[in-house]
Amino acid sequence: MAGDLRHRRPAGAADAGGEEEGDGGAEAAAKAGPPSGGEGAGPGRKEALGWLEWSRGWMGVVGEFFFQRIAASHLANPLELPPLDGVSIIVTGATSGIGLEIARQLAQAGAHLVMAVRRPKVARELIQKWQNEQTEVSMPLNIEVMELDLISLDSVARFADTWNARMAPLHVLINNAGIFTIGEPQRFTKDGYEEHMQVNHLAPALLAMLLLPSLIRGSPSRIINVNSVMHTIGFVDAEDMNLTSGKHKYRSWLGYSNSKLAQVKFSSIFHKRIPAEAGVHTVCASPGIVHTNVARDLPKILVAGYRLIPYFIFDPQEGSRSTLFAASDPQVPEYCETLKSEDWPVCACINYDCNPMNASEEAHNLETSQLVWEKTLKMIGLPSDALEKLIEGEPVQCRYGQQKAE
């Protein structure tokens, strides 16, 4: 049985708060210490996490690693889902890891599932496999495949344009796809953005914004962002989201954790600004530390370590439970509305044990969250009043894909 959200608040602000690739890079990042510019950096604008925040973040990461299986022992595996007939759900990154499990279970629960993927052929092969596994008395799975590549913001805009043209409701958007290129040098997309920031934050933010008309048609609807405990060791400078200023030496774990914190901050401002009557609820879900495809990018010694400690790390099916809960449980909209009515500074966050969790201290900083919101809109090519216009049903010009969302 999953947690009861309706009469609960998040834990204290100091509590720690993965996504398709899981949190496989935690070990590599722990050795480095916080980037310079936090506590002790002198007066002026904060430039990094202080040692206390950094330490609390790492306590959360380590605690999750050792105790997640115990904390989530009350959950069924797989998680029991309600019937989802007539519910339209888009899942990004649905061909591997957590995303594959999310997609499979939603489809088997009767949802109209849209697999938004880079490799449509792989998705179609999976559909055929799942269909073959159905019993003779089972209804055919209601799944379709649409191409989406988060490395290209043009691809994101085209995807949203295609879906919105149907004038059909969208009930749930699950932003699951993400990357963590552990140990790799800094890379930039053709759009000019650091890869982690674009794939893990900018592209999902653009997708959610452009699909807002369809989400309003499907109201009450949900945007589920698969996040990570690693956001607790991230820090986002809105003037240096590409990590190119030279203030901090680039490390892959820094790019990843910053992108996940940026996602929480943007989601929180979205949650605060969208009116309750629109009926669109935003949730960040943490799957825990999960053994997925990210392990292929780890150093060989860490890959070997992964194989030696299966007890502590979730498999993808276990890691899918918090996202499935956030996407399907009837308590979630009420919980989001409660947080909104209490003017809670962070959007709803669901932990790997399907209970409420709180985001990091830095995620509660509304001033920097507002700066991240404004900078993100500029980076994804939307005007500052895009949200308000979309809610009112007015067309919004996006710099990417040459489309209008309406």
Q: What is the pLDDT of residues 157-186, one digit of tens each?
A: 999 999 999 999 999 999 999 999 888 899
333 or 8: which leads in pLDDT: 333
Which residues are known catalytic residues?
256
Residue reference for tokens 């649409």: 146
Looking at residue 46, its pLDDT comes to 76
SS3 sequence, the chain? CCCCCCCCCCCCCCCCCCCCCCCCCHHHHHCCCCCCCCCCCCCCCCCCCCHHHHHHHHHHHHHHHHHHHHHCCCCCCCCCCCCCCCCEEEEECCCCHHHHHHHHHHHHCCCEEEEEECCHHHHHHHHHHHHHHCCCCCCCCCEEEEECCCCCHHHHHHHHHHHHCCCCCCCEEEECCCCCCCCCCCCECCCCCEHHHHHHHHHHHHHHHHCHHHHHHCCCEEEEEECCHHHHHCCCCCCCCCCCCCCCCCCHHHHHHHHHHHHHHHHHHHHHHCCHHHCEEEEEECCCCECCHHHHHCCHHHHHHHHHCCCCCECHHHHCHHHHHHHHCCHHHHHHHHHHHCCCCCCEEECCCCCECCCCCHHHCHHHHHHHHHHHHHHCCCCCCHHHHHHCCCCEECCCCCCEEC
Q: What's the pTM?
A: 0.89
> Identity (one letter) of the amino acid at 384?
S
For the residues 313-318, what does the mean pLDDT come to? 94
Residue 78, Cβ neighbours under 10 Å: how many?
15
Burial grade of 105 (CB within 10 A; 0-12, 13-18, 19 or more): buried
What percent of the chain is predicted at pLDDT more than 70?
83
Q: What is the pLDDT of residues 17-48, one digit of tens each?
A: 333 444 444 444 444 455 545 544 444 567 88
Pair type for strands 396-397 and 404-405: antiparallel
